[in-house]
Amino acid sequence: MILIVAEHAGGKLAKSTLEMVSAARESGREGPVTVLVLGQGTADVANDAAKYADQVLVADLPQLATYNAEVWAAATAQIAQEGEASTVVIGGSRSGREYAPRVAVKLDAPYLEDVIRLSANGNALQAQRYTYLARVTETVEAEAPVIVVTVKPGSFAPAAPAAAAGEQYDVELDLPAPRVEVTGKSVEKSSRVALTEADVIVTGGRGVGSPENFATYVEGLADRIGAGVGATRAVVDAGWRPYAEQVGQTGKTVQPKAYVALGVSGAVQHLSGMGKSKYIIAINKDAEAPIFKVADYGIVGDVNQIVPALIEAAGKSQ
């Protein structure tokens, strides 16, 4: 089987899990696409996963109520061994990157990290990933009974529902006692849609001029049209916006239906994080800005003059 470890939060299946399903189906590896749901009170997550996978394995246990890298790695490795998985697919999130190498060690398996493409090459699994700040795409491959892969978020299109729902099975686990305990957690509260889940994203660059303009124009337009808010690395480095909003090679990779770039020059590192957006709309006063080379629609002009009119027009259409 191809084993996918589901990512979920707040009782909802994360978009990244659907991307992993697509990656699994494109990999050419044999066996049913199987989603493993770890956690407590995950019935809704399992039901959602069953819409996309051939089968769903559910470990609904008190020991899994809180994420722990040691426990997640042990659970994943156990199921992979018992199910004779050919491939283990884990999300390239912060937690996924933390426990995936542990799974590879437990399984004595090759580890392909942060992949953006998967395909079969004979008996080998071939993958592509970015390197040298996304200036180079390298191809790597591994051939082994089982291979562990992490998928770069936003690199694959989310899977469509399958023709028939997959079967669900409860599984038993022999879990170790965690050596590290989570004693507290702080969650940033926001009324906006999460950046990696958003169908529309409005991103601001240094071209918006100031933190105040960012709040007025970027956040203002995003709130008016119900979009997520993104930022370039330059904006984050300047302290205008938090790192959680950074899009690009060293931030988040996104693939929304529409990506609105305000005052974004279009450095290659930024393009690597949003280049697969279905539609890219750019507004920049520099007609030679690289962003216009990838944009589907572009306006050459001052963001501070154009965006207020867009916000007003969006308000009238609602």
List binding-site positions. 206, 232-233, 246-250, 263-270, 284
| Cα separation, 87 vs 1, whole angstroms | 7
Instruction: Identify the bridge partners of residue 127 per DSSP, sorted by sequence position.
Output: 118, 140
184 Cβ contact partners less than 8 Å away, ≥ 6 residues apart: none
Q: Which residues are annotated as a binding site for FAD?
A: 206, 232-233, 246-250, 263-270, 284
151: number of Cβ within 10 Å: 30
Name the pairing type of β-strands 8-9 and 12-13: antiparallel
The sheet with strand 228-231 has its strands ordered as 228-231, 200-204, 258-262, 279-284, 297-300
Q: What share of the chain is helix, strand, coil (3-state, %, to 5)?
A: 35, 25, 40
One-character DSSP codes across 74-92 = HHHHHHHHHTT-SEEEEE-
Q: Annotate 258-283 with b (16+ C-beta within 10 A) or e (fewer).
A: bbbbbbbbbbebbbbbbbbbeebbbb
| Cα separation, 34 vs 77, whole angstroms | 14
Q: Annotate 172-186 with b (16+ C-beta within 10 A) or e (fewer).
A: ebebeeeeeeeeeee
